[in-house]
Amino acid sequence: MIFLHFSKEIERKGLEYYNKLADATQIREIAGIFRYLAREEKRHYEIFESWEKEGVLPPVENSGISKHATTAFEVLSEHFKTAGVPAINHGDAYEKALEFENKSIRFYTEALNGIEVSDESQRAILESIIDQEKTHARLITSLMEFQRHPGEWLENVEWRHAEKY
């Protein structure tokens, strides 16, 4: 199925990109967020691979990324308040990451609404992956916002009350 081939490619590229960002950043908390996102992309890749090879879909589990990200942002904010946070010059990198996430959301949504996915269990798995990709996009948007206004970030209640998955 062409859909699964492209899905795996999207996730593989995301995995590589997030690992590259994690390796490039000197800020431990941000590197941790990127590593977490890389693990998420790997998990999605493995789901699509299993779907392609075996026709069997493993469950999409709650990874807890929302809680992990909130903790990381709280630590970053505390560092900023006490010692200042060095410039986080990842603007273009965040834009590209957001582009990756939005591309996957569009592609999976089109597949869901098209004829590529007809089985109900496949539809449920794909809906879960779409929800997770949306959470990733919100996380990247939050990183961008933190970069612009690190001292005010915790006042932004949007992330702190984001839907957990």
Residues 129-163: tens digit of each pLDDT? 999 999 899 888 888 877 776 656 555 545 444 44
**pLDDT value at position 114?**
81
Mean pLDDT, rounded, of the chain: 78
Q: In whole angstroms, how far apart are CA 19 and each of 15, 38, 41?
A: 6, 6, 10
Number of Cβ within a 10 Å radius of residue 135: 20
**Four-way CATH pick for 2-160: 3.40.50.1980, 1.20.1260.10, 3.20.20.80, 3.40.50.720:** 1.20.1260.10
**Residue 145: exposed, middle, or buried by beta-carbon count in 10 A (0-12, 13-18, 19+)?**
middle
pLDDT digits (tens, 9 = 90+) for 85-100: 444 556 688 888 999 8
DSSP H stretches of helix in the chain: 2-24, 28-54, 65-83, 91-113, 120-148, 157-160
Maximum alpha-carbon separation in the chain: 54
Where along the chain do its domains lie? 2-160
Residue 13: its pLDDT value, please? 95
The phi and psi torsions of 103 (rounded to 5 degrees) equal -65, -45
